[in-house]
Structure formats: structure tokens, C-alpha cells
Structure 1
């Protein structure tokens, strides 16, 4: 019985580790239109990515570290997004780290 439990935990750990993305990715929109040239960087990192004409970006992630993402573009409000959090203290929620791309809507900055 002990061996079965150990085997189960090894398999579960292997499956969970393989499912982690090595990059953040998603779309940047404003008022239902994609925004290009948005600067996306991981908090406390100098690595940057830019959104393309379709609003899509792909940013390499530091190994074994998950941090917030910062979205910046002149004329829009700067936004910081939490990428991983616990819902109800139990379920791990992710944003921009899933296999399907997430979307953020930036607000136009008013003068």
C-alpha cells in the first residue's frame, strides 16, 4: 500500500511539473481592438516582449519563478496583473500561463 501511494505522488508530481509553461502568453486589447507595441515584462525582470498587430505576445518566463506581469504603452494606463493566486485558499488559478491564451483590456489614459 505504501508503494502505491509513493508511486501515485511521483506520477502526480511529474504530471504537474510538465504542465507548467516556460513562457507567458496572451492578447492585449483596448475597446475590442488589438493593441500592438505594448511592452510586457515580468515584475523584477529586465526581459521584455512586445505585442504584435494582433495584440499577441509571448514572454519567456524565469525558471521556477512566477511573477506579476506589467503592461505599458504610451496613451494607456499602466496595468499590473497577478499571474498566479489561490482561490478560496485551495484552487490555484493562473493567468497568462495556461495553454489557451488569456486577454487583458487596457484602458485609454485620459489627460
Structure 2
């Protein structure tokens, strides 16, 4: 497991009554924690929710929902999706604009 401290984490998935959260350090996934779903803050009980997780002696001792970070990441992902879904101009489109 990772060292003691506070990590940003993202709710990755749910398996029965368990939540799997991916722990990040400097934006990179470094570990995961499996928790009872009930331990998550109520508004953070969805895939993609960003939470702060405090670890001590390999145990999760505190979890806080990060609403602003969740919204920001969701918006950034939607923007990337929108950019990727735009059709690149064809050669016919380019000749129409000349």
C-alpha cells in the first residue's frame, strides 16, 4: 500500500457493496483502496466522484467528497470527447473554403 498521507482518489467502480477508489499522486494512479460503499460520503457515491482519502497505517481513516474537482474533471472529459468526436475536414471541405 502507499505511505501515510492525504491522496486524491477517484471512485472507479462498485462491486456489490464495495467501492473501488484509485489513489493518485501527482495525477498518476499509485494504488487502489476497496471500501464499503457506506464509507463514502453520500454525494460521492458515483463512478467518477473525486474524493480526498487520508491513509494511516494502510487504513483509510477519512474520506471527503471534492465536488469542485469532480465537476472540473467531468467538464474536461466532456470537452476532450467533444473535440475527438468532431469530424476532421475532408479535402472537399477545404476546397470549398478557398
TM-score by length of 2: 0.26
TM-score by length of 1: 0.24
Query: Which structure carries more relative contact order (alpha carbon 8 Å, separation 6+)?
Result: 1
Which structure has the bigger radius of gyration? 2
Higher strand share: 2
